Amino acid sequence: MRIYNKYVVSLAVVTCLITTILAFLGEQDITVYFTVSVIAYLVITLLYVYFNPRARRTLNTVGVVFFAGFLVVVAMKVVEILSG
């Protein structure tokens, strides 16, 4: 299970790094943290191309769920900008 361990550890490390960096930059919008974390998740999952087909399928499903959340955030921002 070493490849799965590496994947989980890299996900945890990257999300922690993102949170730390954004906190140091003084970011106070929770949607920014969420959006950057979702993008990191999608990129890391894409980099692990050697997962078995079953794992790839399930992780793609999770990716779709996170991406839907990302779209909701984008839509909310668009509505916010349009409504002034």
Partner 1 sequence: MSNPYRMLGLVLCLAGGTFAPISYFAIGSVPFTALGLSAIMVGFTCIVLAGARSPVSPEACELMLKTGMQNTAALLEELELRGKAVYLPSTITGGSPRALIPLADNQDILHIRGKIPARLIVRYGSDPGDMAISVTTVGSMNIDLLETRPGPTSGEIEAAAAYILTGVLDIATSVAVRLTDSTVDVEVKGSRLHYEDVWYYRCLGSPIASIVAAISSEALGRPVRIKDEDYSKGKSRIALEVLSS
Does 50 engage in binding with partner 1 (CB under 8 A)?
Answer: yes
- Which residues between 55 and 84 bind partner 1 (CB under 8 A)? 55, 57-59, 61-62, 66
Locate 64 and state its tokens.
Answer: 């779709």
In whole angstroms, give the CA distance from residue 79 to residue 52. Answer: 40
The DSSP output letter for 51 is S
Candidate list 16, 46, 47, 76; residue touching partner 1; CB under 8 A: 16
Measured on CA atoms in the order 19, 23, 25, 30, is the torsion positive or negative?
positive
Q: Which residues bind partner 1 (CB under 8 A)?
A: 1-4, 7-8, 11-12, 15-16, 18-20, 22-23, 27-30, 33-34, 37-38, 41, 49-55, 57-59, 61-62, 66
